[in-house]
């Protein structure tokens, strides 16, 4: 498909321009800043917010591709919000939700993993505190986590919890 191929090549070219200049559109984002690991959940929320200019300004680069690219560059604290990751998060969220929280989602009793995006969206609507960013000068524009950003933060927190328990000192969101 030629239009998709052209979009992909344009995105690669834009990535090269970013790597050589540190600019995305009118925003300067030093690459070494992107590879600084957040130390806690609030920093992770600020971190995923700081990636929005990349996601919004590189053609053909969505959240999953951006996070995967950064993971390949060394950001192993970043989980790519693919469907299989969203399914795991959705299954865990169902355990935290009350039946009334998700009773209107079709087929939930039969195969909740097929409804991962709906479950995550429903959880965030019912529990809005989980999609709030911390107060920060770095946060502007949309002040709520997107579903994909929430998944990345959730996986980061889960890995942090495992490390803190002493179960696996080297676990990362990517390894989960």
Q: CB-based contacts of 137: which residues, under 8 Å, 6+ apart?
A: none
Q: Identify whether the C-beta of residue 172 lies closer than 8 Å to the C-beta of residue 160.
A: no
Tell me the per-residue pLDDT of 107-157, one tens digit each, with 9 for 90 and over: 555 565 568 888 888 888 888 888 777 776 666 666 788 889 999 999 999
The reported pLDDT for the residue numbered 12 is 81
Write down the mean pLDDT value for the chain. Answer: 83
The reported pLDDT for the residue numbered 111 is 61
Which residues in the chain show pLDDT less than 70?
99-114, 136-142
The reported pLDDT for the residue numbered 38 is 93
- Our separate counts of H helices and E strands in the chain read 9, 2
């Amino acid at each position: 498909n030629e239009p998709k191929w052209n979009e992909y090549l344009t995105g690669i070219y834009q990535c090269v321009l970013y790597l050589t200049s540190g600019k995305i559109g009118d925003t300067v984002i030093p690459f070494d800043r992107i590879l600084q690991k957040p130390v806690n959940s609030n920093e992770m929320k600020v971190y995923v917010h700081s990636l929005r200019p990349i996601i919004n300004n590189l053609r053909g680069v969505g959240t999953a591709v951006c996070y995967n690219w950064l993971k390949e560059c060394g950001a192993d604290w970043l989980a790519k919000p693919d469907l299989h990751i969203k399914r795991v998060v959705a299954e865990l969220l169902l355990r935290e939700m009350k039946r009334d929280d998700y009773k209107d989602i079709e087929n939930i009793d039969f195969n909740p993993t097929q409804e991962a995006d709906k479950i995550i969206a429903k959880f965030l609507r019912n529990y809005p505190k989980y999609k709030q960013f911390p107060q920060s000068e770095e946060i502007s524009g949309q002040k709520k986590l997107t579903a994909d950003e929430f998944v990345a933060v959730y996986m980061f927190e889960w890995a942090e919890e495992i490390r803190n328990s002493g179960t696996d000192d080297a676990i990362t969101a990517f390894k989960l």
